[in-house]
Amino acid sequence: MFDRIKKAFSREAEPAEPTEGPSSRLAGPVSEWAATQGFGFSLDSTGQGMALEGKVAGKPWRMQLGRPSRNYILGQEVRARAELGVDEQVAVLVINRPLKEALEKRAYQIYTDQLQTSADAVLPEEMRWLAMYDEVGWDSLPADFWARVSVLTDRRDHAQTWVDRTMGDLILNWPDPSPSAEVPFILLLLNGKVYLRMEYTPADLATLQHAAQIFTNACAAALEAFRQR
C-alpha cells in the first residue's frame, strides 16, 4: 500500500521533474466555478499553475494548484493557507495514514543510518510535527475515518472540537472518482493559521472543489471554536 510513497522518497536527491500546467480544459471550468462561488481566480505568470482566493468570515484565504513542493507528491499539488488570527496555542494535524507511516519509516531510516549525510537538509517539516504531537482518537467519528487518517495534537479536546462530524464526513466522502486513501493529504491548524496540502489526484474539477470545501469548512470551524476574544 505504501510502495508509491516510499518510491517518491527514493528520489530525494534527484531534481524535481517539471509538471504540466493546468490545461485549457481545466482552467476554463475552474474559472467558471470560481466565479459562481465569488472566488478570485488567476493563472500564474508561467502558465504552470492557478490560484483561488476568497474569504471566510472576513478572513482571506488562498489556494494554489501547481508544481509540488514535497517529493512525496506526484504530479500537481493543491495547497492552501489562511491566516485566521485564532488561538496560536491550538495545534492539530490531520494526515492520511499511509503518508504518516511512510514519513515515520523514512525518519527512522535517516536517524539510524550512519551513512546518511545530506537528508537532514531536505526533511519535510511534517516529520517534526509527527515527533512533536501525539496521535488521538475518539468514538464519535466512524472507524472508516480512523482507518483513512490520523489526528495528532497536544490537546485532545482541541482536536475533538475542530475535527467534528462535519469535517470527518467531508474528509471521508469525496466525489467519484475519489482519491484513494494513499493519496497524500494534510490538514493543519497551527500558529493561528489553517493549511491544506494534498496531491491533485484524480486531477479533475470535482477534486479541487471538494478540497476547497474541506479547507473553507476547516477555516470556519477554527474561527468558531478558537477565535481570540
pLDDT digits (tens, 9 = 90+) for 144-165: 999 999 999 999 999 999 999 9
Question: CB of 100 within 8 A of CB of 227?
Answer: no
pTM score of the predicted model = 0.87
Lowest-pLDDT choice from 105-109, 124-128, 167-171, 208-212: 105-109
Which whole-number Å values give the CA distances from 101 to 17, 63, 110, in the listed order? 25, 26, 14
C-alpha of 54 from chain center: 18
For the chain, the domain total comes to: 1
Domain residues for the domain of 26 are: 3-11+19-226
CB atoms within 10 A of CB 108: 10
Which whole-number Å values give the CA distances from 183 to 119, 139, 167, 206, in the listed order? 23, 25, 18, 15
Question: CB of 22 within 8 A of CB of 43?
Answer: yes
